[in-house]
Amino acid sequence: MPHVQADSAKAQTSGARPGRLALVVAVGLLVWALPRPADVDPRAWRLLAIFVATVVGIIAKPLPMGAVAVTGIAAALATRTLTITEALSGFAQGTVWLVVSAFFLACGFVKTGLGARIAYALVSVFGRSTLGVGYSLVATDLILAPAIPSNTARAGGVIFPILQSISKTALGEDPIKGRQTSAFLTLTAYQGTVITSTMFVTAIVSNPLVVQLAAAQNIIITWTSWAVAAVVPGTVSLILIPLVVYLLCPPAVVKTPEAPVLARSALAALGPMKRSEKLMGLVSVILLVAWIFGTALRLDATAAALMAIAALLVTGVLSWDDITHEREAWNTFVWFATLVMMATFLGSLGLIKWFSGQVGSIFGGIGWLPGFLGLSLTYFYSHYFFASTTAHVSAMYAPFLAVALALGAPPLLAAMVLGFFSTLFASLTHYGTAPAPILFGSGHVSLGTWWKVGGVVSVVNIAIWLGIGAAWWKVLGLW
């Protein structure tokens, strides 16, 4: 599994970048020193200052995200804003361990080679045309998405190597036409992973964060309810978006008879399915069933995931070393638990309630529908300024949701739409979510094309999700 974020952490060895650290401290002190409104709990206000400084730190990156989180906890402890029990409570959160477990599952998919096998099998069946290869890559991503909470692991770890080998063959045959074909496949894979990331809570780390932030405002979203709400607009997007890319960035060759041949020889090289691959497949199918029927089985999603990890360990598919060496999981564990903890206490100390009250009274005259549309479009397109979905969600999701609720938007609808937009907006740029730099870095797509396609795709996605999606959610009774 590629450790993209951690690599950038490695490059920086001499501690915090002083200028950016000063900015973070200044922002924190500023909020801290602002006159506290009389009806806000003093601890809530102090926590707000620390939280804002932490989020600014996650965006400005004076230190890697995890180190910023630890520093945020230290600040909360040193200023007696939180007790040690409160400060550590995030590390025992179910959602946090759902994410950690899913990272270990991802590790199993990559380690056993099951992910690559699925991709090759799909290409060997559907890969006779360029569009077919594109759809095969997207389908692989979709199959892996529910159990791999890192689109970096999917798009970077599984899809990218296969994409590269197909591109290499195409470029070898005809450099100019091959480049156009590679550009199409790269963009399809990227726009596809953006959509699959939107469809499941466990498809990207920022989705569980959304669930947790919504829960802090008393809106309960389960794994199943998210997936059901996303399935209709998601499927439409998965079908239409590759066609949009096909129109805007057409491949030079329409037929790719060599792709299925390539995939078949790759499959032959992999040999028959190994014991570990079969077990990995079996465990993930069972887990998926457990997630889908979670409420009926009275089985929490995290409990099911932990049992799956135990099964993989006991059968030797994963070794304990794989788990302790999975740095990205532990990195995510620390920063994710910290953000969840802070958001929970901002909610329980009454800050969000106060904020909504304030905003509600200001926007009293506006109907919720135009207000919510404005909010969600602002939320979407502000992603041009963010290099990570997590940074964006931690900075903007909670206040935007609070405002939407204050305007009178249906709670579950508002929480879900903002949640879906929290990954769809990654389509815009070549830095919108972690796999973007990997795929863009292959050099097959020019920057101008990437942004043009991203812009058009974003409009199509918004139309699909707010049009077909809204109708589907009406059917589901979300509003």
Partner 1 sequence: MREPARVHPISPAPVQVQPKPPRSERQTHGVRAGRLALVFVVGAALWMLPRPATVDPRAWQLLAIFVATVVGIIAKPIPMGAMAIAGIAAALATRTLTLAEALSGFANATVWLVVAAFCFATGFIKTGLGTRIAYHLITLFGRSPLGLGYSLVMSDFMLASAVPSNAARAGGVMAPILRSICKTAIEEDPVRGRQTSAFLTAMAYQGTVVTTAVLVTGSVANLLALEFAAAQGVAITWSGWAQAAIVPGLVSYAVVPFIVRLLCPPGVFKTPEAPSAARAALARMGPMKRGEWLMGLVSLGVLTAWVLGTRLGLDNTASALIAIAALLVTGVLTWDDVISEHETWNTLVWFATLVMMATFLGNLGLIKWFSAEVGAAFGGVGWLTGFIGLCVTYYYVHYFFASNTAHVSAMYAPFLAVALALGSPPIVAALVFGYLNGLSAAVTHYGNASAPILFGGGHVPLATWWKVGGVVSVANLAIWLTVGSVWWRTLGLW
Binding site for partner 1 (CB under 8 A): 6, 9-10, 12-16, 21, 63-64, 66-67, 70-71, 73-75, 77-78, 83-85, 87-94, 97, 275-276, 300, 302-303, 306-307, 309-311, 313-317, 319-321, 323-325, 327-328, 330-331, 334
From the CB of 75, what's the least distance to partner 1, in Å? 8
- Alpha-carbon separation of residue 114 from 107, 120, 284, 421 (angstroms): 11, 10, 11, 30
Task: State the alpha helices, DSSP H only, in 200-350.
Answer: 206-216, 223-248, 258-270, 275-292, 294-297, 301-314, 320-324, 327-348
The tokens describing 209, both together, are 């964060």
From the CB of 219, what's the least distance to partner 1, in Å? 20
Which of 68, 406 has the CB closer to partner 1?
A: 68
The answer to whether residues 434 and 150 touch, using CB atoms and an 8 Å cutoff, is yes
From the CB of 100, what's the least distance to partner 1, in Å? 10
- Alpha-carbon separation of residue 209 from 99, 270, 343, 419 (angstroms): 10, 37, 10, 9
Which of 10, 255 has the CB closer to partner 1?
A: 10
From the CB of 202, what's the least distance to partner 1, in Å? 16
Helical pair 389-407 and 368-381, crossing angle rounded to 10 deg:
170
Which of 315, 358 has the CB closer to partner 1?
A: 315
Please list, in sequence order, all residues whose beta carbon lies within 8 angstroms of the beta carbon of residue 423, skipping any fewer than 6 positions away: 194, 197, 198, 203, 204, 206, 207, 389, 433
What is the chain's alpha carbon radius of gyration, rounded to the nearest angstrom?
22
Which of 6, 60 has the CB closer to partner 1?
A: 6
From the CB of 328, what's the least distance to partner 1, in Å? 8
Q: Which residue has the tokens 């304990």?
A: 320
Burial 115-135 (b: 16+ CB within 10 A, else e): bbbbbbbbbbebbbbbbbbbb
From the CB of 453, what's the least distance to partner 1, in Å? 34
- Alpha-carbon separation of residue 216 from 229, 282, 330 (angstroms): 21, 35, 24
Amino acid at 407: L
Which of 133, 318 has the CB closer to partner 1?
A: 318
The answer to whether residues 161 and 116 touch, using CB atoms and an 8 Å cutoff, is yes
Amino acid at 53: A
The tokens describing 411, both together, are 């709670």
Which of 114, 424 has the CB closer to partner 1?
A: 114
Which of 77, 171 has the CB closer to partner 1?
A: 77
The answer to whether residues 211 and 427 touch, using CB atoms and an 8 Å cutoff, is no
From the CB of 86, what's the least distance to partner 1, in Å? 9
From the CB of 92, what's the least distance to partner 1, in Å? 4
Which of 197, 338 has the CB closer to partner 1?
A: 338
